Each structure stands twice: as structure tokens, then as C-alpha cells.
Amino acid sequence: MSFSQLNNIILKLTDKTTVKVLNVLLEHKEIIDEEMVNILNEEIEQLQEDLNGDEEKIISRIALKEVRKSLYKLNERSLARYRRVRDKETGYFVYYWSPIFERILDLIVSRRKLSIKKLRQRLDYEQRNLLYVCAEGHTPVTFSDAFELGFICSTCGEELSQKDNENTIKFLKQKIKELDEELKTGLEELDDLAELMEKSIPKK
Ligand SMILES: [Zn+2]
């Protein structure tokens, strides 16, 4: 199962390694960091084989330190938690990591909704305010600002005329439509995640 939207969001917030780490967490529900390193390195080795030793594309193995760094990043954002258990034989603590599904679900929905809201506000602004701009395209201003400026550009002194914002409006409408559709696929990812979440709750 791949969560493209979630991966994009996490990538914006963190980095590629953290995206991989989160995906392993989602898949395994609970896992210790060392085991996670093994899984990620097995993937890398497989990839290496597929590349057939093309030296230009050699991908280095991932270190435990890197994985831990990613886990802390996820933990900081409340997307992953750990439980600490003392190993009876060695006396060292072992960290069992798991994803926090509820927070991950919230993150996907809230990010999408925020993007759509921002675009709607911009569209609303464009539709309500006709903008005035000079031929050089210096900072567009509203009618009242243009009036105060005597319809003269404050940068170059050329005349201000009404800007045709039909293209901007068309672009924004298209973008909103795309995001709405993305939100829907995001919701499908949510269903898949919720299903994983159900399965991760131990049955008594
Ligand atoms: Zn100008």
C-alpha cells in the first residue's frame, strides 16, 4: 500500500528518509529501530541489484543514526510514538516504535483543507477586486489605491489600467478543482489507513 499524499506532505515537512521510515512504521505497526534499519537496507540492496552495479547510481546504506533521527522527527510532530522495554539479558532499553494513526489522518485532512481554503480566499479576492497595473506589470493595486495614485504607477510613472484577471481566475478555479479531487483521493488513503489502524488495535 502506498500513501502518495501522505508521503508528499511528510516530504514537505521533513526529508526522504523520514518518509521511508514512516512507511515502514505503517506497514509493521510496531517495530524496533534496528529491525527497521535492516528492512530499509534490504530494500536498498534490492534496488542496487536492479541497477546492476551502475556505479553512478550507487545508493549508500542507511545508518541506525539516520533512522533514529527520522523517528525523532516523527515523534516531535506526534506522528510516531515509542514504548521502552528493558532487555532482561543485556540490561539495555529497547525502543518499540509505532505510528500514531489518528494524528496521521488529521494531518492529511487538515493540510488539504488548508490549501483549498487559501485558494478560495484568493479566488474570492480576485473576483471582488479588479486590479490596476501598468504596462510593465509592476505591483497590481486595487481600484481605490489606483484612484489615490491618480492612476499612475508608483514605480515607473506610467499609466495604470485595469488588469485582465480572467486568466488568474480561470487558473485558480482549475487549481481548486484539482485539490478537491486530490482531497477525495486523500480520503481514500484515509480509508486505507483507518483499515490499517483497525488491524493494529490488538483484539482482546
Ligand atoms: Zn510601472
DSSP percent split of the chain into helix, strand, coil, nearest 5: 60, 10, 25
Q: Ligand 1 centre and the CA of 143: distance in Å?
A: 15
Fold of 1-99: Arc Repressor Mutant, subunit A (1.10.10)
pLDDT the model gives residue 202 = 54
Going by C-alpha positions, the residue among 68, 74, 76, 58 that lies closest to residue 19 is 74
Question: For the stretch 164-203, what's the b/e string if a residue is b when 16 or more beta carbons lie within 10 angstroms of its beta carbon?
Answer: ebeebeeebeeebeebeebbeebeebbeebeebbeeeeee
Distance of CA 16 to the CA centre of its chain: 11
**Spans of all domains in the chain:** 1-99
Residue 28 — φ and ψ, nearest 5°?
-100, -10
Q: Ligand 1 centre and the CA of 152: distance in Å?
A: 8
pLDDT the model gives residue 111 = 85
| Rounded Cα distance, 130 and 128, in Å | 7
pLDDT the model gives residue 90 = 92
| Rounded Cα distance, 70 and 172, in Å | 35
Q: How many CB atoms lie within 10 A of CB 131?
A: 19
Q: Ligand 1 centre and the CA of 119: distance in Å?
A: 27
**Per-position pLDDT tens, the chain of length 204:** 568 888 988 999 999 999 999 999 998 989 999 999 999 999 888 888 877 766 666 678 899 999 999 999 999 999 999 999 999 999 999 999 999 988 998 888 888 888 889 989 988 888 887 889 999 989 889 888 999 999 999 999 999 998 877 888 889 899 889 888 877 777 777 778 778 777 665 544
pLDDT the model gives residue 203 = 47
Cell numbers standing for residue 109: 485532512
Q: Ligand 1 centre and the CA of 129: distance in Å?
A: 19
Q: Ligand 1 centre and the CA of 172: distance in Å?
A: 25
| Rounded Cα distance, 198 and 152, in Å | 63
Ligand 1 ion: nearby residues, β-carbon < 5 Å: 134, 136, 138, 153, 155-156
Q: Ligand 1 centre and the CA of 154: distance in Å?
A: 7
Whether residue 86 contacts residue 92, with contact meaning beta carbons closer than 8 Å, is answered with yes
